[in-house]
Amino acid sequence: MSAPQRSKVAGFKPVISPPAQTAPPASGSGAAAAAEQSAAVHDRLASWVTDLTTLQELNERLAGAATLDDVLRETLRAGATLVGAQRGLIALEAVESNGPERTIGLGLGRADIGELETVPRSSSSYARILDGLPTAAGGDRADDRGSGGGVDPRSEDLGDLGDLAYPYPEITHPDIATDEALDPRHREVAARLGYAASHATPLATPAAPRIGAAVWLYDEPAEPTARQRHLLGLYLRNATEHIARHLELARTRADLTALRDGLLPSRLPRVPGVAMAVRHRTGPRGGGDWYDVLPLPEGALGLTVGGVTGSGAGTVAAMGRLRASLRAYAVMEGEDPVAVLSDLELLLRLTEPARSATALFAYVEPSVRRILLAGAGHCPPLIVGPHRTEYVETTLSAPLGMLACWEAPSVELTLYEGETLLLYSDGLLHRTGEELDRAFARLHAAAACAPPSVQADPDALVDHVLRAALPDGRAEQQDHPEDVVLLAARF
């Protein structure tokens, strides 16, 4: 009689071979052995299910982390849960000059991290990993557990899960106080911070082998078991992929920020009779808002704020081209703001036919506080002073690139001594989260309620307006898609 076929369960290989014959087992000791074997199989299956459930829950929490810091903290918390530690530390290594380099602790303050950094690198486990702990050739596990030894996870039967762990070298110090091989400073810092054992592993992926290092600290002498280290390896394989993606995103944002900063003024010029300040906040993808302050012939001054629709590197590049062109037009015909914006609209329509932009240009004569301005679909400026806070009455106009030929009249106004002209982008209104009319009222109230000492200082005024108009830290919210520009000129 042929042997029966084994049943197959998705994700698991049968661990018990079928009997060589179909005859029922003998009673007595044979039946007891079969029952014991069956119980062992069920226990092992239950253990695998528990491990998979734990990993799934931790990975779901990791997937909900939105920022790099959130991912690092979640990785620390999950790792501490898996290895039974109380505290931990992740140190990232900046692979490139523009990459983030940071250290984040779990249950460790800045002073504690500073203490850990005083341990000589030759003795510090995470520092040794950052310096390049070698991995065995061929991808084999290169375990380095200090003087504490340890059990290789491969020596324990971990079932199908054993084939999934990414090979991480490890450094484990199970009893730091009695480990004479460690540097005395290492033992001193451990005693001062109150940890007695540590377990460290690199943060690495096959594509990025030098991301950083993680170390978990125990309050009592201990070391993770083979199964704990194995589950940690499974978890880190996924967590380091998340960290690598966030690092790449951070580097991309740094590149975009450097590009944008290179296209905007590095500082505002000094102009007699005028005190100025500016604040610029951008979204995660980089927006197309710009500002500029340009000294013009005969002691005049050009002020401009604008924005190109869209986001990303292409929008930032288009913004740089428009701003540079506007500077040239302002030098040639700045006393006629309408002509400046008309030339800019023609350039945009010819060179960037798929884009539109809003802009406001003001020609200022500081000696007499006379301002001539024109706007193309842009928000009206706000006058702030001891005796009035009001919007400039500008004519409704279309953004540049929206019509076959842009045209709008200019507006002339004269400010009193001590008054400030606020130019801003529409992102300031959008970040309030209010309807447009209520957003304008909120901005007006924020400027009007500024104390006289604040109104007299452009730097203090722009900070006050941002705090009052954008509560809950929205001015500094880096993941908001809208840019914010706020330019103040006090005469």
Judged against a pLDDT cut of 80, whether residue 2 lies above it is answered with no
- Residue 478's pLDDT is what? 57
123 or 134, which is more confident: 123
Q: How confident is the model at residue 141 (pLDDT cuts 50, 70, 90)?
A: very low
Which of 78-82, 95-99, 211-215, 401-405 has the lowest average pLDDT?
95-99
**Residue 350, CA distances (Å) to 189, 326, 346, 411 in order:** 66, 15, 6, 27
The pLDDT of 281-291, averaged and rounded, is: 77
Q: Which of 106, 161, 144, 484 is nearest to 152 (CA)?
A: 144
- Residue 480's pLDDT is what? 65
Q: How confident is the model at residue 217 (pLDDT cuts 50, 70, 90)?
A: very high
Residue-wise pLDDT for 35-75, tens only, equals 777 777 777 777 777 888 888 888 888 888 888 889 999 99
Judged against a pLDDT cut of 70, whether residue 156 lies above it is answered with no
User: Which of the residue ranges 172-176, 255-259, 282-286, 426-430 has the most confident prediction, judged by mean pLDDT?
Assistant: 172-176
- Residue 485's pLDDT is what? 92
Interatomic CA distance for residues 37 and 360, integer angstroms: 82
- Do 486 and 446 contact (CB within 8 A), yes or no? no
- Residue 16's pLDDT is what? 39
Supply 292's token pair: 């500029």
- CATH number among 3.60.40.10, 3.40.50.2000, 3.40.50.1440, 3.40.50.300, domain 264-490: 3.60.40.10
Q: What is the mean pLDDT of the chain?
A: 81
Q: Beta 484-490 vs 275-281: how paired, if at all?
A: antiparallel
- Residue 145's pLDDT is what? 45
**What is the Rg, in whole angstroms, of the alpha carbon atoms belonging to the chain?**
33
Coil, strand or helix at 263: helix
The pLDDT of 390-395, averaged and rounded, is: 90
CA 383 to chain centre: 36
Q: Do 45-255 and 264-490 have matching folds?
A: no
**Residue 61, CA distances (Å) to 51, 65, 84 in order:** 16, 7, 18
Assigned fold of 45-255: Beta-Lactamase (3.30.450)
The pLDDT of 110-119, averaged and rounded, is: 91
Interatomic CA distance for residues 265 and 269, integer angstroms: 9
Supply 225's token pair: 């078991």
**Residue 226, CA distances (Å) to 89, 167, 218 in order:** 21, 14, 17
Angle in degrees, 0-180, between the axes of helices 226-263 and 29-63, rounded to the nearest 10: 10
Interatomic CA distance for residues 410 and 396, integer angstroms: 11
- Residue 135's pLDDT is what? 39
- Residue 27's pLDDT is what? 55
Interatomic CA distance for residues 240 and 232, integer angstroms: 12
Q: How confident is the model at residue 209 (pLDDT cuts 50, 70, 90)?
A: confident
Which of 26-40, 232-246, 351-365 has the lowest average pLDDT?
26-40
Interatomic CA distance for residues 371 and 411, integer angstroms: 8
Supply 289's token pair: 């808002």
Structural domain spans, the chain: 45-255, 264-490
Hey, what amino acid is at 41?
A: V
- Residue 287's pLDDT is what? 74
Interatomic CA distance for residues 447 and 455, integer angstroms: 8
Residue-wise pLDDT for 190-202, tens only, equals 999 999 999 999 9
Interatomic CA distance for residues 300 and 269, integer angstroms: 12
Q: How confident is the model at residue 260 (pLDDT cuts 50, 70, 90)?
A: low
Judged against a pLDDT cut of 90, whether residue 162 lies above it is answered with no
Residue-wise pLDDT for 433-482, tens only, equals 889 999 999 999 999 999 999 999 999 999 999 999 987 655 555 556 67
- Residue 52's pLDDT is what? 84
Supply 149's token pair: 């030894």
Supply 379's token pair: 């928000």
Q: Which of 392, 429, 423, 419 is nearest to 487 (CA)?
A: 423
Judged against a pLDDT cut of 70, whether residue 355 lies above it is answered with yes
- Residue 146's pLDDT is what? 47
